[in-house]
Amino acid sequence: MGRTPSTLRTAGATTLAAAALALAPLATSTAASPSPDSANATAAAECLTPPGNQNAAAKGTRAPDHEPMSAEDVDRVEARTGKLLAQKRTQGYFVPQGALASATIPVYVHVMMSASGAGDVSNAQIAEQISVLNKNFDGKESPHAADTGFTFRLAGIDRFRNDEWHKDRHSTSYRALTRKGGMNALNIWLVDFDYLGIATFPWSGNPFIDGVRVHWNSLPGGGIANYNLGETATHEVGHWLGLYHTFQGGCTTKNDQVADTPAQSSPTNGCPEGRDSCTLPGIDPIHNYMDYSFDSCYNQFTDGQSRRMSDMWVAYRA
C-alpha cells in the first residue's frame, strides 16, 4: 500500500509481489549495521519521490502503495472478514453494536540510513509524526472528521546504517530481521525509495513483514514538496488498519466498501475543491486521508471508515 509522490499511496506490483514471497536469506554484504547511537535513541524515544524526482513529487503523481486488489479479491476479503468476526463473537470477543474498537497502538520506528547517514531523522521529527497520527485518528483536523478510537504510542526507535536497506532493497529480509511486536504493533520503516509509502493490509498473511514503509523525507518538516506534513504515514496506516483508497473500484456503489465515502473515478492530484468525477451521488472526497491529495488538503476519516477499521482490528489485529 505504498504511494509515490505522484502515485505513492499504492505499492508497485514488483514490491508487492516481493512482500508476498517467503523470507529469503540476506546476503552477508547487506548485513545490518546499527549505528552507535541506536540504543540511546531507543531509550530517548521512549527512538516522494527520491531527490532526483522532486518535480514529479511536487506535481502529486503517484504509484501504487499496496498489493493489487481486484473486485474478486475484495469480495474474498470481505467474506473472510465476516467469518472471522463471527468466530470472534462466539469466543466472546466483539464490539457491541453502535460502539467501536479502541486501542493504543505501540509504534516501532526503524530509521534505515545510508552508510554515510543520509536519511537520518531527528527524534523530534519522529515524535511530531506520532503527534500527527494521533491528531488525524482522533478527528482533530475537521468538525466532519471521525474520532476512530485509535491512539499511537511511540514504543521504540532504532537506527541502521546500511545502503541496501536505506534504498529499500532486500525489504522482505530487512523487515523480518527488524520487526518488533505482534500484529497489534505498528512498525514504520523510514527509507529512501521511489514511493511516498507502502503498507501491508491486515489480511496480507505474513506477520514477519507486517507494517508500513514511508519515505523518510515525508515526515513533518521533510523536503518533499506538498507531502511533508506527515500525512503519508496517516494514509499508509489507514491501509494497515484495513482501508482502501477512496477511489477503489471507481464509479461503483461498493467502491471502497465504505458507504459514506462518495465514489470517485480516479485519484486526486492537489486539492481541487468541488471535483466530481462520478455521476453517483456526492462529490469526490478529496479531503479524505485515503485519497491521493496534497498533505495540506487532508483532514478526515469518515464514520464509515472508522467502523471498518474497528472491524478489521477485531478480525485481524486484536
pLDDT in tens, the chain (318 residues): 455 554 343 333 333 323 322 222 222 223 344 433 333 332 222 213 333 333 222 223 466 677 778 889 999 999 999 999 999 999 888 888 778 888 999 999 999 999 999 999 999 999 999 999 999 999 999 999 999 999 999 999 999 999 999 999 999 999 999 999 999 999 999 999 999 999 999 999 899 999 999 999 999 999 999 999 999 999 999 999 999 999 999 999 989 999 999 999 999 999 999 999 999 999 999 999 999 999 999 999 999 999 999 999 999 999
> What is the spatial distance between Cα 242 and Cα 38, in angstroms, rounded to a whole number?
32
What is the separation of C-alpha 237 from the centre of its chain, rounded to a whole number of angstroms? 3
For residue 52, give the DSSP letter.
G
Classified as helix, coil or strand, 61 is coil
Closest by CA position to 308, among listed 263, 258, 262: 258
CB 211 within 8 A of CB 175: yes
Please name each of the domains of the chain with its CATH number: 13-23+32-317 (3.40.390.10)
> What is the spatial distance between Cα 41 and Cα 35, in angstroms, rounded to a whole number?
10
> What is the spatial distance between Cα 144 and Cα 133, in angstroms, rounded to a whole number?
17
Quickly tell me which residue has 504509484 as its cell: 63
Strand bridging mode 212-215 / 197-199: antiparallel
Which pLDDT does position 60 carry in this prediction?
A: 37
**67, 141, 231, 236: which one is catalytic?**
236
CB atoms within 10 A of CB 254: 14
Residue 236 annotated to the active site: yes
Which pairs from 93-98 meet CB under 8 Å and 24+ separation?
Answer: 93/314, 93/318, 94/314, 95/310, 95/314
Cell numbers that stand for 34 in this block: 546499527
Which pLDDT does position 65 carry in this prediction?
A: 74
Question: Which amino acid would we find at residue 314?
Answer: V
Q: At what angle do helices 303-312 and 71-90 cross, to 10 degrees?
A: 70
CB 50 within 8 A of CB 166: no
Residue 292 neighbours by CB under 8 Å, 6+ apart: 3, 7, 8, 9, 60, 62, 245, 247, 267, 268, 269
For residue 106, what are the β-bridge partners?
A: 153
